[in-house]
Structure 1
């Protein structure tokens, strides 16, 4: 523990990282409650599943359409400027939505527009943030920096449902969204002060896209991980997000049981972050690939109709392993991808994961009339295991290891 504390202390001396971390902590407090507030703002107006689906589609479609654009600009302009503008755009969207709800003028159409703008902001923030962290933190400290950045969001995963529910219940959705807007403003001002250098000299955007695609294809370890990750995310979302609540309703007492499963998974994520603060595996990418298979555990437990305590244990293990996967993979990318390509290549990877969202939901809808829920859950678990095994057969996976000074 003393050695781990000393290494974390190296990050504490980094003023730019402290600013970056503070911005992340502040914005996380608002972002954790925003989905609940947006959903209930639609419900409180009498909206049903159709209106809520429209808002969710509006929020999740921009990354599919604009993530590559965000990746191009993350390598062409100063990343702190891109983070500043992206956070201000998100603040404006949430502020307008909060004001419209508070004055009784909110509509589903306006909510969808604000959700689209928030998704657009995220499409530019995500690739810029990954590259910015690699610019301000030395390679030897990147894993712990990534873990520390995930720590507040994972803590809030545990607390946000209860805290957000109380705020929305007693103060209304407008207050939660107003707080989210304010946190984005604070984060924007903090990130504007980073003063990061330009990642590369100005070139044509189309040339950057072609060069980025060529670089992505040349890195077998990256595109193979992206393909496997697309399958993994699609199977996880289909099994956990869609089928999980249905099985919980039939066997585990409905919302109460499913709430316990989600809380167990969130606690696992938090525990995984703490593991990454002291465990530094040498084979970064191999560990990332292997730990991704942990998402199959709760799906298999639900599909086999195991008792609720066994499902909760599986959810905790899945959370621990998944957070280790995220931290080790991001660290591997930051150490093995040149600075001038960080935004573009992270965007290609992120695009695959976002495409998995509609694919997973669509396939689940197609097989819903053929398979029962438990069989579909077992199939999703099998897909996760198969994708992991296929990815572990790629030789390049074992060459992307931790860089030491």
Structure 2
């Protein structure tokens, strides 16, 4: 199949390329299932009598493969056909979610079986993510990449607004199995759409070990990059442990369970969508500073739930957190793309991704253990404090204020 990148003169917008329309469709279908998956996974554990410890184990097992296999996924994405990697990765995820749906529906689900399915899903994600990032550049000409990324991001965030709400009502009305089955179906449909892209394997000129060594040297030589990653290690772990692990448990005890937790997730998704719209208009000069400050907004909903504030306040803070996170993602991505040479971006992106995920399994397990000794609200406040502290410490790094937007002539001065 011919891609837009093969014939750039034929298109004036990414949506005119059949390959990009196929890619967008697959992304939307997959997101329609994945938007319900976190809530369904949490309540599949709760339905079989699990608490914070069980949910922490399941979430940790889902995260471990993304640490272990992410670098391998990045290397495969630079050496094999990305459309085939996406096809088999989505099929593997579909199988895992389908098996989980069957065990939950038949009443045979246990913490161990749910954790195994989560491990398989995490393994699939470690290959899907880097292949997805590289596929867009193969499908769309360089001059349309920013527009293509926006077109991918906006509809996906719109789906995420309704997905948790629908998922909350589905889980509350009929249990988690139906939401998990839907997720498996969407992974399958996306797999066959992505296979049709038929993307050629990228060319490689050096060995695997040489690529990894060069990537690590480039990563460590940029203080702003590894310090941002180190701060992200703490921030991401605290956010996921607080929001994904303790959030559903607090909602089950303090609010109206799956329904209200679905509303909280929908408010967060609305914030992501609003943040994307903000970034389409606002182009800050101090990119990295904005990314660090905006990421600190993730502390707000955790603090609101920790203090036992009313649901409307929690929804407002989740909305603000979503806005902040999306602004942080866009600002960080732009800074990374402008200040890291193109030839090094794939490897250093993998190092950054692994670094930010290193503490997630440990964070889940420590939070689950802490929830047995202290009440969940106190642990949520501790997670909020860690997020705020990570942002403040990162702002003390001088290089953060030197990584700013480059335009025109400045674009040639890539940070070394």
Aligned pair partner of 1:276 in 270, 275, 279? 279
Q: RMSD over aligned Cα, in angstroms?
A: 3.7
Aligned pair partner of 1:285 in 285, 288, 296? 288
Aligned pair partner of 2:399 in 384, 389, 395? 395
Q: Which moved more, 1:279-288 or 1:61-70?
A: 279-288
Shift of 1:357: 1.9
Q: Report the counterpart of residue 188 of structure 1 in structure 2.
A: 191
What is the rounded CA distance, in whole Å, between the counterparts of 1:264 and 1:395 in structure 2?
34
Task: Assess, with a 3 A threshold, how the Cα gap between structure 1 residues 14 and 224 changes in structure 2: closer, same or farther.
Answer: farther
Shift of 1:126: 1.0
Task: Assess, with a 3 A threshold, how the Cα gap between structure 1 residues 266 and 72 changes in structure 2: closer, same or farther.
Answer: same
Q: Report the counterpart of residue 206 of structure 1 in structure 2.
A: 209
Q: State the aligned residue count.
A: 395
Aligned pair partner of 1:146 in 144, 149, 159? 149
Task: Assess, with a 3 A threshold, how the Cα gap between structure 1 residues 363 and 141 changes in structure 2: closer, same or farther.
Answer: farther
Task: Assess, with a 3 A threshold, how the Cα gap between structure 1 residues 85 and 218 changes in structure 2: closer, same or farther.
Answer: farther
Task: Render the CA deviation track for 1:163-188: whole Å, top value 9, x for unaligned.
Answer: 23454566665554443333223322
Alignment partner of 1:71 is 2:74 = yes
Alignment partner of 1:361 is 2:369 = no
Task: Render the CA deviation track for 1:126-166: whole Å, top value 9, x for unaligned.
Answer: 12212222444455654443343333443333322342345
Task: Render the CA deviation track for 1:225-281: whole Å, top value 9, x for unaligned.
Answer: 11111122233234444555677788x656476655444323212221222333333
Unaligned runs of 5+ in 1: 1-8
What is the rounded CA distance, in whole Å, between the counterparts of 2:306 and 2:56 in structure 1?
27
What is the rounded CA distance, in whole Å, between the counterparts of 2:23 and 2:248 in structure 1?
36
Q: Report the counterpart of residue 316 of structure 1 in structure 2.
A: 319
Q: Report the counterpart of residue 97 of structure 2 in structure 1.
A: 94
Unaligned runs of 5+ in 2: 1-11, 412-416
What is the rounded CA distance, in whole Å, between the counterparts of 1:368 and 1:374 in structure 2?
9
Shift of 1:350: 1.7
Task: Assess, with a 3 A threshold, how the Cα gap between structure 1 residues 72 and 395 changes in structure 2: closer, same or farther.
Answer: same
Alignment partner of 1:80 is 2:80 = no
Shift of 1:400: 4.8
What is the rounded CA distance, in whole Å, between the counterparts of 1:360 and 1:372 in structure 2?
17
Q: Report the counterpart of residue 124 of structure 2 in structure 1.
A: 121
Task: Assess, with a 3 A threshold, how the Cα gap between structure 1 residues 329 and 32 changes in structure 2: closer, same or farther.
Answer: same
Q: Which structure 2 residues correspond to residues 370-385 of structure 1 after superposition, within 5 A?
A: 377-385=380-388
What is the rounded CA distance, in whole Å, between the counterparts of 2:43 and 2:262 in structure 1?
18
Shift of 1:114: 3.0
Task: Assess, with a 3 A threshold, how the Cα gap between structure 1 residues 247 and 117 changes in structure 2: closer, same or farther.
Answer: closer
Q: Which structure 2 residues correspond to residues 40-79 of structure 1 after superposition, within 5 A?
A: 46=48, 48-49=50-51, 54-79=57-82
Task: Assess, with a 3 A threshold, how the Cα gap between structure 1 residues 218 and 84 changes in structure 2: closer, same or farther.
Answer: farther
Q: Report the counterpart of residue 3 of structure 2 in structure 1.
A: none
TM-score with structure 2 setting the length: 0.78
